Amino acid sequence: MDNYLQLKDISLSYHTKEGEVLALKNIDFSVKKNEFVSIVGPSGCGKTTILSLISGLLKPSSGEVLLDGEKITKDTSIGYMFQRDNLFPWRTIYKNVTIGLEIKHQKKDKESLSHVDDLLNKYGLHDFKNSYPSQLSGGMRQRAALIRTLCLKPKILLLDEPFSALDYQTKLSVCDDVHSIITKENQTAILVTHDISEAISVSDRIIVLSKRPATIKCIQKIEIDRALTPLKRRESPEFSKYFDLIYRELTSEKK
């Protein structure tokens, strides 16, 4: 499964009254199954736009996106995690987590429900099933948000800076947490971030984007033992080497 997710020569323009803005230009890459890929780039370059394209929320001006050999449609199961957990404050954790099943009318499906229970048990949220989001810490809430997406058994997880709203300590531990859950559940994930260290600590590969219109500057393979936690990976000797490489790519002005 070398080409689980494929973006084929994608370009995208935004249309405003003032004119047309080319946001993405010739974006072409693929992601393997169970791979963890990060996208880094200067702010406002269109990282989130790429996620919107993969999730089908946006359509490209040209080119196509294929997931598992098929075009993305409304029914393709995609997991999306945002900067904020976006839990609904009026729902209990359980009802928040199962909202996807509700939408897909699987609320009475025994198999799906036992999967939900499994996930809640495995990741320590079972005791908080009937709590409301306001009663949970930021890290727990983000974990609940992840389980919410996993309940639908998504084909791919899209992470849009999911740690950037947390304070530094929490960020590191939640990052470990989320990474281990994703690995255990054999998920394919794409993380968008502006934090180079974060990207190196979790990814198998990093895609570096240029300023707008965003093109791919380079794709860097990260060869640090995948069995290590992100926190441990930060301590590995290669870490700073990769940091240097990517930092230089990001700041270089060559076109």
CB nearer to other proteins: pick between 27 and 145: 145
Task: Find the farthest-apart pair of alpha carbons in the chain and give their distance in angstroms, rounded.
Answer: 56
CB-nearer residue toward other proteins: 104 or 212: 104
Least CB distance to other proteins at residue 8 (A): 22
> In 3-state terms, what secondary structure has residue 195?
coil
Distance CA(146)–CA(28), nearest Å, equals: 28
Which residue, 88 or 219, is less far from other proteins as judged by CB? 88
Interatomic CA distance for residues 223 and 151, integer angstroms: 31
> Which residue, 55 or 201, is less far from other proteins as judged by CB?
55
* Secondary structure class of 164 (helix, strand, coil): coil
Nearest to other proteins of 116, 208 (CB atom): 116
Please state the closest distance from residue 78 (CB atom) to other proteins, in A.
Answer: 6
Write the CA distances from 151 to 80, 142, 191, integer angstroms: 12, 14, 19
What's the closest the beta carbon of residue 55 comes to other proteins, in angstroms? 5
CB of 47 to other proteins, least distance (A): 15
Give the number of other CB atoms < 10 A from CB of residue 214: 24
Q: How far is the CB of 80 from other proteins (least distance, A)?
A: 4
CA 227, CA 234: separation in Å to the nearest integer? 13
Contacting residues toward other proteins, per CB under 8 A = 52, 55, 57, 74-75, 77-80, 82-84, 86, 88-90, 99-100, 102-104, 132-134, 149, 152, 158
